[in-house]
Amino acid sequence: MHDALIDRYIACWNATDAAARRGLVAATFTEGAGYCDPMLEGEGHAGIDALIAAAQQHFPGLRFSRRGTADAHHHWLRFSWDLGPEGASPIAGGTDMALVAADGRLAAVTGFIDFAPKGA
């Protein structure tokens, strides 16, 4: 169950069609959800959609993928991801912590960068 939620979360980050991305964000995050990592921060569906669009502009043509399975306890998830060209070695990766709301969507995500190119 948690891996399906994380796969939908990853799909948000990979959706380049704005309308499709907004739909995925609404299906994945609660209305008041927050996201923050060392480079980006946003709240609500519009804020999260905007930060994903900014990340896509910063890393054009790269795709996110889930690394391994999600680790869960209570309402918390921990999962890792990679970013890179499809079918090639990742250039960046991280580990995120997420709070799952009662409706099964994400209420908050805090991202940590495990490795990235200098200046990213």
Region of 68 please: left (phi>0), alpha (psi -120 to 50) or beta.
Answer: left
All structural domains of the chain with their residue ranges: 2-115
**Segment 63-119, tens digit of pLDDT:** 999 999 999 999 999 999 999 999 899 999 999 999 999 999 999 999 999 999 886
Distance from C-alpha of 108 to C-alpha of 10, rounded to nearest angstrom: 15
Residue 120 reports pLDDT greater than 80: no
Residue with tokens 């995925």: 24
Architecture in CATH for domain 2-115 = Roll (3.10)
Q: How far apart are CA 104 and CA 92, in angstroms?
A: 28
Rounded to whole angstroms, the Cα distance separating 88 from 65 reads 11
Which of these, 120, 111, 113, lies nearest to 6 by C-alpha position?
111
Amino acid symbol at 48? I
Residue 7 has pLDDT above 80, yes or no: yes
